[in-house]
Amino acid sequence: MEREDIETAIRSAFAGVRLGSGVSLRQAQVIDDYGRGYSQTEFEALPQSEVIDDWTQVPENELVRDCVAHLDADGLRYYLPALTLWLLDHYDDEDRVFSGADMTAIGTVAALAPYSESATSYWAIYDSFSAEQKAALAAFVQTLPRLVHLDQEDAARVERSLGHYWSRYLPRSH
């Protein structure tokens, strides 16, 4: 698959997905800071100031909030398609580390190719995704090393996650 095919598959598979009651990016950032400075009411109101009904419209400055690890299943289902497309556009950016976007790239790769200690949790979340969503993400994971220049650790993790989980959602070749 080529980049355009991957983007089309992701857009199609996740079309119409909304955040619902999932953890938003701003809420994930607050969780990352142990909730400091926010009452429960303020925390619960955060999504009202975010794009929560169309992931294709989430601004990049929201995607780089660096808190992918704190998203719940609904939050991951909502934001992951935007994050995967963002990753294609920005993984190879020379200034990614200095622009604050490096943690978003790390978090997105970690969500798709988790470390062994968190793999079971992520796989359980993905098991709740639709067949089309899993197939689109599997194709993304399979194709990512050809579309960007993964560093050595990310390349190894992506390959491992493809073998341990994602490959079962790829079309079988005859």
Name the residue range of residue 21's domain.
Answer: 3-169
Domain count of the chain? 1
Q: Is the four-CA dihedral 98, 109, 107, 17 of positive or negative sign? A: positive
Torsion of CA 38, 39, 44, 45, to 10 degrees: -70
Token pair recorded at residue 88: 């294609």
Please check whether residue 59 lies inside any domain of the structure: yes
Please check whether residue 77 lies inside any domain of the structure: yes
pLDDT tens-digit profile, the chain (174 residues):
699 999 999 999 999 999 999 999 999 999 999 889 999 999 999 999 999 999 999 999 899 877 899 999 999 999 999 999 999 998 888 776 555 677 888 899 999 999 989 999 999 999 999 999 999 999 999 999 999 999 999 999 999 999 999 999 998 864
Please check whether residue 127 lies inside any domain of the structure: yes
Instruction: Please give the model's pTM, rounded to 2 decimal places.
Output: 0.92
Please check whether residue 174 lies inside any domain of the structure: no
Task: Indicate the length of the chain as a whole number.
Answer: 174
Please check whether residue 20 lies inside any domain of the structure: yes
Please check whether residue 25 lies inside any domain of the structure: yes
